[in-house]
Amino acid sequence: MKKIFIICVVLLGFICGLPAQEQDGPEGSYVIGEEDILSITVRGEPEFSVRDRSVRMDGRIALPMFGEIHASGKTAQQLEEEITKKLEYLVKNPVVIVVVDKVISHRVTVAGQVGKPGLYAITAPTTVLEIIVRAGGPTQNAKGKRIRIVRQVNGREVQFPFNYDDVIKGRNLRQNILLENRDMILVP
């Protein structure tokens, strides 16, 4: 019970006051990725609108009466602006709304000595501690002081140390970094 209380206090501290790291895209907006599910509405023009459309592995999405457009790597706002520009030749004053219905592309892996190892979707800024808690926390046999976050940066593997014991005691909180797509958390 005491451990859960400490975790809740630490999480509350992160939510209420610690500065967030900068996210991908302008102003921290979510960046669309492959397999994400989108709905695109062109107000007053249902023949141009789509629902529950998956972004293909090549990063493109097919739009009726319009063709294909590259969606991966853009924010919803950037995609809205691009579709609006292309539709100006077909529709007078188009109003385009892009909604990310389901985030599938941004995932992290938690492996090793946790209650529920596996893949976890990250749909909002998420810290290492938050994902470890979602994964059921470290098991009794876990070496909480030797956790590593493995990330690919420009084709190279970079590792970040994470000391679970320190973080839940409120020490050395800078190591509780925001996770990025395809990060791997290794709990020995």
Strands (E) in the chain, as ranges, are 37-42, 50-54, 60-63, 67-70, 96-102, 107-112, 118-121, 147-153, 156-162, 184-187
DSSP 8-state assignment for residue 113: S
Is 50 part of any domain? yes
For the stretch 21-36, pLDDT in tens is: 333 434 447 889 888 9
CATH number at residue 47: 3.30.1950.10
Is 18 part of any domain? no
Same domain, 121 and 156: yes
Is the distance from CB of 76 to CB of 99 less than 8 angstroms? yes
How many domains does the chain fold into?
A: 2
Q: What is the pLDDT, as a whole number, of residue 179? A: 95
For the stretch 97-128, pLDDT in tens is: 999 998 888 889 999 999 999 999 887 889 99
Is the distance from CB of 148 to CB of 163 less than 8 angstroms? no
Range of the domain at 141: 106-187
The widest CA-to-CA distance across the chain, in whole angstroms, is 64
Is 57 part of any domain? yes
The domain boundary residue, chosen from 102, 124, 142 = 102
Is the distance from CB of 113 to CB of 65 less than 8 angstroms? no
Is 15 part of any domain? no
The domain boundary residue, chosen from 75, 102, 129 = 102
Is the distance from CB of 32 to CB of 106 less than 8 angstroms? no
For the stretch 138-185, pLDDT in tens is: 999 999 999 999 999 999 999 999 999 999 999 999 999 999 989 999
Q: What is the pLDDT, as a whole number, of residue 103? A: 83
SS3 5: helix
CA–CA separation, 175 vs 187, rounded Å?
15
Same domain, 39 and 68: yes
Same domain, 85 and 111: no
Is 17 part of any domain? no
Same domain, 113 and 180: yes
DSSP 8-state assignment for residue 8: H
